[in-house]
């Protein structure tokens, strides 16, 4: 499920970035399932997530992951999403309409081995 996108500059990049360690460890230590771990053969869009899931989805497919998260929450999974704080998007309003708790993250997260922060703010969204 590795996705590469082409930028207008001609540089290819992956949208599969490691979740900041402190955030990932916090949820994984509480037995949250990660349905889209980096460099894995798991296709979280095709499986049930169980009782608790922490999801930092590939942002190129974010709408599909939001739909899956909503579907999983309806059948009883407590889902936590780490997504860009793009409150003007259709997918964000779809989440708002389902009823969520939101934790805005101060500052810009550093994903993977990046020394600089992401070019967007991030938010944790809790679907219960």
pLDDT digits (tens, 9 = 90+) for 40-86: 888 999 999 999 999 999 989 999 999 999 999 999 999 999 999 99
CB 13 within 8 A of CB 4: yes
- How far apart (Å, rounded) are the C-alpha atoms in residues 86 and 102? 12
Helix (H, G, I), strand (E, B) or coil at 83: strand
The per-residue pLDDT for range 87-103, each reduced to its tens digit, is: 999 999 999 999 899 99
How many other CB atoms sit within 10 Å of the CB of residue 101?
10
CA-based radius of gyration for the chain: 14
Domain boundaries, the chain: 17-127
């Amino acid at each position: 499920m590795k996705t590469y996108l082409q930028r207008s500059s001609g540089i290819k990049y992956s949208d599969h970035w490691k979740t900041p360690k402190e955030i990932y460890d916090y949820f994984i230590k509480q037995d949250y399932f990660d349905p889209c771990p980096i460099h894995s053969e798991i296709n979280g869009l095709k499986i049930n997530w169980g009782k608790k899931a922490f999801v930092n989805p590939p942002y190129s497919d974010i709408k599909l992951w939001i739909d899956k998260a909503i579907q999983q929450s309806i059948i009883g999974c407590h889902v936590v999403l780490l997504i860009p704080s793009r409150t003007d998007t259709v997918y964000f309003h779809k989440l708002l309409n389902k009823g969520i708790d939101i934790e805005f993250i101060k500052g810009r997260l550093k994903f993977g081995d990046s020394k600089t922060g992401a070019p967007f703010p991030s938010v944790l969204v809790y679907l219960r």
